[in-house]
Amino acid sequence: MELSKVTLEIFSKLEQKWLYQCEGKKTRVLSIDGGGTTAIVAGAALVHLEDQIQARTGDSAARIADFFDIAVGTGIGALLAAMLVADGGAGRPLFTAREAVDFVFENQKEMFRPARAGAFRRRMRYSGKSMEAVLRAAFRRSDGRDLTLKDTCKPLLVPCFDLNSSAPFVFSRADAAESASFDFELWKVIRATSATPSMFKPFKLTSSDGKTSCLAVDGGLVMNNPTAAAVTHVLHNKRDFSSVTGVDDLLVLSVGNGQSSSPSTTKLRRDGDCSTAAVVGIVRDGVSETIDQLLGNAFCWNPNDYVRIQASGAVGSAAEVMAERGVESLPFGGKRLLTETNGERIGGLVQRLVLTGKSSLPPSPSKEAAVSPLVSGR
């Protein structure tokens, strides 16, 4: 009996060590959906995530960027992702999660200020100039210089749709580090991915050296849930993620933003016609659900490595979002309501993150970063 107990303890310790080593090889991906103007779901999840990290590490200075290797976002999700990894100096994030979320809520009216009456009044609902002023103030250093894609603590991906090439364009820190022709000011990148056709005119931006230009509209039309773009980037970027050979080496947190339109605005008329805003809402929600289903299938053998946080219905507060039971995509279609709440799922993920320690990816970008042409904006 005593020998059996000793043997069991030895194998238990060896198993824990093996699991720790395997977990340590995981590359952590944070993905934030676009859609909507309030980002209640994403805001609640990110604040809870950072609070849990600080509580479990006992370090009030710990940040989300310390425990994730790459961040990706679309639309308002891109704004939150960029604020979490923007380098405020010495490789530390410019904003805490709570500061980023508060910034979005406090500046919501200014970013989405109705346009003045004029030539574009019937077609445009919001003033792009007011949003640009808010974004530029958020991503400007104390010395007056605007932050660019290279000025981030961790790799950042932000998709949009380029009308010039009629194809998706993904802004990438790895591309920016490789060439000034792919380095763009952060506020312009966020403005580009937020150019929803039913709200704003297309936004034109050029790279730091003026050699690359993009006429952008909302990235949510093609990548409202940008998780697949992040996974593809990590799998092909062997310079920054050399240890990643497949999805088994990834740990993904995908944060939704709820439905981008209410059910009443997305219903088709009897003749099949509907407004531009309704079409955009249908496309966004469809893209998010499709990507979630694909990722659920890809991680079906390791479901705990893919955590999707989303609201299953209408929510009015952060507390309601965290108290809702989680929803998981099934391998061959459909969804399953989990016993764990969204808050408990984030807590379980944080426990794994803290167990394996902080991200080992250096904050400074590699000038020789290799990026898949399928993912980069080229």
Say which residues have a Cβ less than 8 Å from residue 294's Cβ, sequence separation at least 6.
228
pLDDT tier, 365 (very low <50, low <70, confident <90, very high otherwise):
low
Q: Which of 220-224, 287-291, 301-305 has the highest mean pLDDT?
A: 301-305
The reported pLDDT for the residue numbered 258 is: 62
Tokens representing 159? 């998709």
Say what the pLDDT of residue 261 is.
42
> pLDDT > 70: what percent of the chain?
77
SS3 241: coil
Average pLDDT, the chain: 83
> Which pLDDT score is estimated for 273?
62
Q: Please, which contacts does 120-126 make with residues 24 or more away whose CB atoms are closer than 8 Å?
A: 120/201, 124/199, 124/200, 124/201, 125/198, 125/199, 126/199, 126/200
pLDDT computed for residue 282 by the predictor: 67
pLDDT of residue 117 exceeding 60: no
Q: Work out the burial of residue 239: count CB atoms within 10 Å of its CB; fewer than 13 is exposed, 13-18 middle, 19 or more buried.
A: middle
Examine the pLDDT at 163 and tell me if it is beyond 80.
yes
- pLDDT at 262 > cutoff 70: no
Taking a C-beta distance cutoff of 8 angstroms, is the pair 256, 310 a contact?
yes
Model pLDDT, residue 197: 82
Q: Which two tokens stand for residue 311?
A: 């609201």
Classify residue 181 as exposed, middle or buried by CB count within 10 Å of its CB (0-12, 13-18, 19+). Answer: middle
pTM tops 0.95: no
Which pLDDT belongs to residue 186? 97
Residue 114 in contact with residue 319, Cβ under 8 Å? no
Query: Active-site residue 218, yes or no?
Result: yes
- Over residues 197-226, the mean pLDDT reads 90
Task: State whether residue 356 is helix, strand or coil.
Answer: helix
Residue 351 has pLDDT above 60, yes or no: yes
Q: Is 175 helix (H, G, I), strand (E, B) or coil?
A: helix
Asked if pLDDT for residue 313 goes beyond 70, the answer is no
Q: pLDDT grade, residue 288 (50/70/90)? A: confident
> Mean pLDDT, to the nearest integer, of 169-179?
94
> pLDDT band for position 228 (50/70/90)?
very high
- The 10s digit of each residue's pLDDT in 71-83 is 999 999 999 999 9
3-state secondary structure of 83: helix
Match 């939704």 to its residue by tokens: 256
Q: Which has more confidence, 263 or 356?
A: 356
Mean pLDDT for 18-23 is: 52
Q: What average pLDDT does the segment 131-153 reach?
A: 91
* Annotated active-site residue in 69, 151, 218, 240: 218
Identify which of 65-79, 133-147, 295-309 has the greatest average pLDDT: 65-79
Instruction: Report the pLDDT value the prediction gives residue 374, as an integer from 0 to 100.
Output: 38
Of 115-119, 239-243, 248-252, highest mean pLDDT:
248-252
Report pLDDT for 19: 52
**Cα–Cα distance between 251 and 28 in angstroms, integer?**
5
Instruction: Assess contact for 61 and 20: CB atoms under 8 A.
Output: no
Res. 119: pLDDT tops 60? no
Give the β-pairing of 70-73 and 156-162: parallel
Return the minimum-mean-pLDDT range out of 210-214, 271-275, 322-326, 353-357. Answer: 271-275
pLDDT (average), residues 59-77: 96
